[in-house]
Amino acid sequence: MTETDDRWLSISEICLHLGVSKDTVSDQQRENFQKIEEAWAAVGIEFTWALDQGGSIHARHIVTDHGWKISLDRGLDVFQHFEMNKAFSFANRMQPFRACKAFEITYIKI
């Protein structure tokens, strides 16, 4: 394990709750959320998700338990399209080589 990886050993609890629009969730997506929940639980991360019954979700943001709201204008869709079938492409295997779309992040102390 590298020195960078050691920092994860000191985190006592990670919880992530995802609110999703009911218009965008398919049966496949529900199955994927269940797989994420199971996989992450194995390493101590609590993942939960729920449908927005009011249909009002549009803003994309993260709220931390340290008093910050991180507003993402594109959500997490920041990467340019890349060809996943190119087995030897660095962009396909290593995130630092993936081209990004223009986006803004705003940090708000709450």
Using the Cα atoms of residue 31, residue 36, residue 42 and residue 44 in order, give the sign of their dihedral.
negative
23: number of Cβ within 10 Å? 9
6-10, 13-17, 25-29, 97-101, range with the lowest pLDDT:
6-10
pLDDT digits (tens, 9 = 90+) for 48-77: 998 877 666 667 788 888 899 998 887 777
Domain chopping of the chain, boundaries: 14-54, 59-110
Q: Please list, residue by residue across 35-73, b when 16 or more beta carbons sit within 10 angstroms of its beta carbon and e when fewer do.
A: eeeeeeeeeeeebebeeeeeeeeeeeeeeeeeeeeeebe
pTM of the model: 0.57
